[in-house]
Chains A and B, each alone.
Chain A
């Protein structure tokens, strides 16, 4: 504290401590909140085709195409410790080969201050819904669920599942038409 350098050093260190304390208090004030919101998903136009795929062991895989409607309101999630949401639609199913299959079909980054109410109609999948084998045909228990990752300014990164989920049966015959 005797000369200007040591005073500047002490001041800088204390400022950083106070900033860290404020950030920690911000984290503590938001950590116990409930981040679950309901959503409405409807899935339609499911078609399954059999294609040759190099990433599958048998070189043959089922590819599903579909479109979906999504209605969800994230407004109440955004508080002062939420920087961004990463919203993604998951198809989850069990198959003969695998105990658990999870495929992300669509995702979107929702930042604070953006449009946080979603009402999407007829959205095509962003990623290929490709099985690890040929188990999608006649599958009657594929679950579609909306999940999101809450990314804070500082603190815990939580994964939340929206309260609603739907189970959709898949077609029983391969579609031969080209994907539009």
Chain B
């Protein structure tokens, strides 16, 4: 199996490493470029829960924007972060009280949930503010995020796949 490595000379080995670096950095640059274009810290999210069913299912990919010129209004599907929770939540706005662009009270609820999100917010938090909202859903790509769901459910598989991909990129010879 390692005969591939032994067959390589130094130039080839360096080329493979560069190739590997290229794959990693182009993925990173696409991500960062989308961050600049959309203004959102996480321009792409995968739906992890069923709280927005039947609109979004687990594994759907959402495209977000975060335009501060365009105020948050009811009906918008926002992605927000709550203190003490690592994973952002994707839920719909059902109430807005806006004093000005900076000082806005927002209340959200999942379409498939019976009650609003006050129970999900940080203890004592009754409203979201504009700064809690990291993006608004503008586009939907079904099933594209399924790989992420599988990886999340089986973490061991994730490391196996990562190791395999890394080996493949390093060993695979361009013809």
Is A in direct contact with B (CB under 8 Å) within the complex? yes
Chain A CB within 8 A of B122 CB: no
Residue of chain A at shortest CB distance from B116: A127
Given the known interface contacts A86-B55, A88-B74, A88-B75, the answer about A132 and B138 at a Cβ–Cβ threshold of 8 Å is no
Chain B CB within 8 A of A99 CB: yes
Contact digits for B15-55, partner A, Cβ 8 Å, 1 yes 0 no: 00000000000000000000000000000000000000011
Given the known interface contacts A83-B55, A98-B99, A127-B94, the answer about A154 and B142 at a Cβ–Cβ threshold of 8 Å is yes
Contact digits for A125-152, partner B, Cβ 8 Å, 1 yes 0 no: 0010000100000000000000101011
C-alpha gap A111/B112 in the complex (Å):
13
Contact digits for B133-154, partner A, Cβ 8 Å, 1 yes 0 no: 0000111111000000000000
Which residues from B are CB-within-8-Å of A97?
97, 99
User: How many of chain A's residues touch chain B, expressed as a range?
Assistant: 20 to 34
Chain A CB within 8 A of B166 CB: no
User: How many of chain B's residues touch chain A, expressed as a range?
Assistant: 20 to 34
Chain B CB within 8 A of A30 CB: no
Give the residue of B74, B97, B140 whose beta carbon is less than 8 angstroms from that of A157: B140
Tell whether, in the assembled complex, residue A154 and residue B55 are in contact, meaning their CB atoms are under 8 Å apart. no
> Which segment of A43-51, A101-109, A164-172 sits at the interface?
A101-109
Segment 44-89 of A: residues with Cβ below 8 Å from B: 54-55, 83-84, 86, 88
Give the residue of B75, B96, B140 whose beta carbon is less than 8 angstroms from that of A86: B75
Given the known interface contacts A84-B54, A111-B54, the answer about A55 and B75 at a Cβ–Cβ threshold of 8 Å is no
Tell whether, in the assembled complex, residue A149 and residue B127 are in contact, meaning their CB atoms are under 8 Å apart. no
Residue of chain B at shortest CB distance from A92: B74
Tell whether, in the assembled complex, residue A98 and residue B97 are in contact, meaning their CB atoms are under 8 Å apart. yes
Chain A CB within 8 A of B95 CB: yes
Which residues from B are CB-within-8-Å of A90?
74-75
Of listed A107, A156, A157, residue having the most chain B CB within 10 A: A157
Which residues from A are CB-within-8-Å of B81?
none
* Nearest CB of chain B from residue A81's CB, rounded to whole Å: 10
Chain A CB within 8 A of B89 CB: no
* Nearest CB of chain A from residue B73's CB, rounded to whole Å: 6
C-alpha gap A154/B57 in the complex (Å):
12
Chain B CB within 8 A of A100 CB: yes
Chain B CB within 8 A of A153 CB: yes
Known contacts A99-B99, A102-B95, then 19 further A-B pairs from the complex at CB < 8 Å, ordered by chain A residue? A54-B126, A55-B126, A84-B54, A90-B74, A99-B100, A102-B74, A103-B74, A104-B75, A107-B94, A109-B55, A127-B116, A132-B105, A149-B75, A151-B55, A153-B142, A155-B139, A157-B137, A157-B138, A157-B139
